[in-house]
Amino acid sequence: MPPPHTTNFRPRSVLAKSDSSQRSATLTTAADSEAGPSRTAASSQQRLANGEADTNIKVVIRCRRRSEREIQDNSPIIVTTNGARGDDITIETCAPSTSLGIVALPTTRTYPFDMVFGPEADQASIYHDVVHPMLEEVLMGYNCTLFAYGQTGTGKTHTMQGDLATTPMGNPSSQAGMIPRALFKLFQQLEASSTDFSVKISFVELYNEELRDLLASELPAPSGSSQPMGMGVHKDAPQQANLKLFDDASKKGVIIQGLEETPVRTAADALALLTKGSHRRQIAATKFNDHSSRSHSVFSITIHTSMPSSTGDGLLRVGKLNLVDLAGSENIGRSGAENKRAREAGMINQSLLTLGRVINALVDASPHVPYRESKLTRLLQDSLGGRTKTCIIATISPARSNMEETLSTLDYAIRAKSIRNRPEVNQQMTRNALIKDYVAEITRLHADLRAVREKSGIIISEESWAKMAAEQELKETERLEAVKQVEILEGQMKAVREEFEEAMALLSRTDEELRETKVRSEGTTTELVDTRSQLTAVEGALEEEIVVRQAHQKSEEALHGVVAEWKEVAQDYEGDVKGLFGKLERKAAAFGSNIRVVNKQGKTLSTETQVMSTKVDGFVKLATQHLHKVKTETEQFQSKELEALSIISSRIKEQLEKVQEALKLIH
C-alpha cells in the first residue's frame, strides 16, 4: 500500500505526549494558502476581537478486532491499547527474533493521540466521546467535519454508518454508526427546544474523480462503468450532468453545482435518505473486505435555527456537519484487485496521496497547498486548515499481516494532528434581512412579469428564464419526493399501527399470564413454607445423624489402631516362639549325639580297659557322675524352657482372644 504522503517522515520509537497546540508552526487557512501569504493585520485583529482562536485538528484512533481472515492466517496481534479508551497506542515494528537460544523482544513505537479506542470500545462510547461534542458545536453555529481514514477492511464504513436498521421502538441499534446516531440525537435536541428549525440533507459520492449525487431522483451510472452488484441505478436511467465544483469566494470554500439538499423533518426521514444513498454507493469485494467501498462519500447535515435578538428581530443561525467516509487505501497486489478494480484502487490511492501532500504542505506551512490536484482535497479544503472544526477517525488492523499499512496510517494521522484550523461561527442573518432578500426577489419577478405583459409575451432574459426553469424543476422534484415521502410515511404509519395493535394484544396476553402466574405463585409460596418446615426437621435429623456417624467413625479409627498394634505384637511373639523351638531342637540333637558318642566310647573303653579296669574304675565313676550331672542339668534346662514356652503360649492365646473380642465389637 502506498503511504498516505510522499515524505520520509517517521516518528521516533517513543513519541513524547505533548499537546500539539504547543507546536511553533502556525498554518494558514485553505483559502489563504491558495491565494498566497496575503493575510492582513486587520483580519487578524478582527479574529482576535471575535474571540476566535486557532485549534488543532483532533485525531482519534480506532483499532478493531482481528478479522476471520487474520485469525485463519494465524497473524498475531502487534497493537497494544490502554483498554476501551486511552490516549496512546503502541505497535511492534518487527517480529521477535531468536539468536543462540535467546529471544530478542521486538522493537515498538508509541504514538500519542487525542483519543485511542481499543477493540473493547463500542459504537455508543465512540459517539459519546467524539461526535456528540461536535454536534453541540454545530448547533452553536460552527461547521464541523468528521472523516474516517484507514486501510480497506479496517471498519471505516462500520464506524460511520454501521447498522442502519432501527429497534422496534424506533431508536438506533447497538451497532449503528456515527451518522445515524448523530441524526437521532440532533432531532431529539431540536424537538426538545422551543426554537424553529429546518434540517437539510445532502449525500455526494466521489468515484474515480467523478462527483455523483446519491440522493438525486434519477442517479446516472458512472461514466464508462456500470454500478457494481446492480445496486441503486436502473440500467435504462438517463444520463445526468455531472456535478461540478466551484470556488465560493464569499465563504472561502467550494460549492457543488447541481447538488440537491433535501429537507427532512424527522430522524426517520433522514435515515431513509441515508439508506437510499448507501445502497447507491460503489462497493465491491476484495481479499480484505467483501463489501469494500470503492468511492469517497460526504454526508452533510445543514441546520438552520432561529433565536431571539435584543432588537426583537429573530436571528437565523446556521451550522453544518460533514460526515466523510473515505475509501480504503490498499495494496493492489495484496487486495487482489484486477482490471476495473485495480483502476479504482489506483484512483483511490492517488486521491489519498494528494490528501497526504496537502497535509504535509499545511504542516510545513508551505506557501502553496495543492488542493486543486484532487476533487477530494477540494471538498475537504475548508476542513483542512480552514474555518471548520475537524476530527479524523483513523481505523487500523491489529494483525501483523497489516503492519506496513497500520504504520502508514498512524504516520498519516500523527502528521494530520499538527494541522491548525481557524474555526469561525457562521454569519447570522436577521429576520428583517431575510425578508429584505425575499422582497428583492419578488420585485425582480414582478419586473419580469411586467416585461412579459407590456411586450405581449416577449421572452424574458435568458438568465431569469434559466433560473425560473431550474426553480420549477426543483419544485417538481420536491413535489415528487414529497409524494414519495407521503407514501413512505403512510407505509410507516401502517406498519407502526400494526406493530401497536400487536403490542396491545401481546400486552393483554401478558396481563392474563401475569394474573395466572400470581395465582400459581401464591400456591407455590404455601408449598414453599411447608417444604421449608420439613426441610428444617430433616436438617436437624441430618445433623444428629452426622454427629452419630462421626462418633462411630472415631471409634472405628481407635479400634483399627489397637488391632494394628496387637497384630504387630503377635507377629513379634510368633517369631520369638519359632526361634525357641529351633533352639530346643538344636540342643536335643546335640544331646543325643553326645549320648551316642559316650556309649560308643564307653563300649570301646570297656573292651580295651578290661585289663585296666582297676585303673579306670575311678575314671568310670567320675564319668558316670559327670554324665548324671549333665543329664540333670539338661533336664532342668528343658523343663525351664518348656515352662517359659508355656507362659508365652498362654500370653499369645490371651492376646488372640482379645483380638477376636475386638473384631466382634467391630463387626
* Whether residue 237 has pLDDT greater than 50: no
- For residues 53-76, average pLDDT: 90
Confidence of residue 246 (pLDDT cuts 50, 70, 90): confident
Confidence of residue 117 (pLDDT cuts 50, 70, 90): very high
DSSP 303-317: EEEEE--TTSPPEEE
- For residues 113-121, average pLDDT: 94
Q: Report how far residue 341's alpha carbon sits from residue 345's, in angstroms, rounded to the nearest whole number.
A: 6
Q: Report how far residue 219's alpha carbon sits from residue 241's, in angstroms, rounded to the nearest whole number.
A: 10
Between 266 and 567, whose confidence is greater? 266
- For residues 5-33, average pLDDT: 33
**Alpha-carbon torsion (559, 564, 567, 568), positive or negative:** negative
Strand 315-325 relative to strand 108-117, pairing: unpaired
Confidence of residue 322 (pLDDT cuts 50, 70, 90): very high
Between 570 and 197, whose confidence is greater? 197
What residues form the annotated binding site for ATP?
150-157
| Continuous segment of H or E residues that includes residue 302 | strand 296-307
Between the alpha carbon of residue 41 and those of residues 29, 48, 355, the distances in Å are: 15, 11, 30
Q: Report how far residue 291's alpha carbon sits from residue 285's, in angstroms, rounded to the nearest whole number.
A: 5
Q: Quote the pLDDT of residue 340.
A: 59
Q: Quote the pLDDT of residue 345.
A: 66
* Whether residue 51 has pLDDT greater than 80: no
Q: Which residues of 345-374 are buried (b: 16+ CB within 10 A; e: fewer)?
A: bebbbbbbbbbbbbbbbbbebeeebbbebb
Q: Quote the pLDDT of residue 33.
A: 37
Of these ranges, 132-146, 362-376, 602-616, the one predicted with the greatest mean pLDDT is: 132-146
160, 179 Cβ separation under 8 angstroms: yes
* Whether residue 97 has pLDDT greater than 90: no
User: How many helices and strands, by DSSP H and E, does the chain display?
Assistant: 15, 20
Express each pLDDT in 136-154 by its tens digit: 999 999 999 999 999 888 9
Residue 456: left (phi > 0), alpha (psi -120 to 50), or beta? left
106, 94 Cβ separation under 8 angstroms: yes
Reference 232, options 256, 212, 250; nearest CA is: 212
- Inter-axis angle of helices 178-192 and 132-139, nearest 10: 40
Q: Quote the pLDDT of residue 564.
A: 84
Cell numbers given for 634: 539338661
CATH entry 3.40.850.10 includes domain 57-226+241-427: yes
Q: In percent, how much of the chain has pLDDT > 90?
A: 24
Strand 108-117 relative to strand 58-63, pairing: parallel
Dihedral of the alpha carbons of 449, 455, 458, 461, in degrees to the nearest 10: -60
- For residues 646-658, average pLDDT: 86
* Whether residue 229 has pLDDT greater than 60: no
* Whether residue 17 has pLDDT greater than 50: no
The helix, strand and coil proportions of the chain, stated in percent and rounded to the nearest 5, come to: 55, 20, 30
- For residues 245-274, average pLDDT: 84
Q: Report how far residue 497's alpha carbon sits from residue 493's, in angstroms, rounded to the nearest whole number.
A: 6
Q: Quote the pLDDT of residue 46.
A: 43
Confidence of residue 29 (pLDDT cuts 50, 70, 90): very low
* Whether residue 659 has pLDDT greater than 90: no
Q: Quote the pLDDT of residue 142.
A: 92
Q: Report how far residue 117's alpha carbon sits from residue 88's, in angstroms, rounded to the nearest whole number.
A: 9
Q: Quote the pLDDT of residue 314.
A: 67
Between 10 and 609, whose confidence is greater? 609
Give the CA radius of gyration of the chain: 51
Q: Quote the pLDDT of residue 264.
A: 94
Between the alpha carbon of residue 366 and those of residues 21, 351, 362, 452, the distances in Å are: 18, 20, 6, 55
What residues form the annotated binding site?
150-157
Q: Quote the pLDDT of residue 152.
A: 84
Strand 389-396 relative to strand 58-63, pairing: parallel
* Whether residue 556 has pLDDT greater than 70: yes
Confidence of residue 291 (pLDDT cuts 50, 70, 90): low
Domain definitions of the chain by residue range: 57-226+241-427, 577-666
Express each pLDDT in 306-317 by its tens digit: 876 666 666 788
pTM: 0.57
153, 328 Cβ separation under 8 angstroms: yes
Provide the terminal-to-terminal Cα distance of the chain, rounded to the nearest Å: 87
Residues 6+ apart with CB under 8 A from 446: none
Average pLDDT of the chain, as a whole number: 79
Q: In percent, how much of the chain has pLDDT > 70?
A: 78
CA 193 to chain centre: 35
Strand 315-325 relative to strand 143-150, pairing: parallel
231, 293 Cβ separation under 8 angstroms: no
Reference 55, options 388, 517, 351; nearest CA is: 388
Q: Quote the pLDDT of residue 389.
A: 94
Between 271 and 208, whose confidence is greater? 271
- For residues 587-607, average pLDDT: 82
- For residues 7-25, average pLDDT: 33
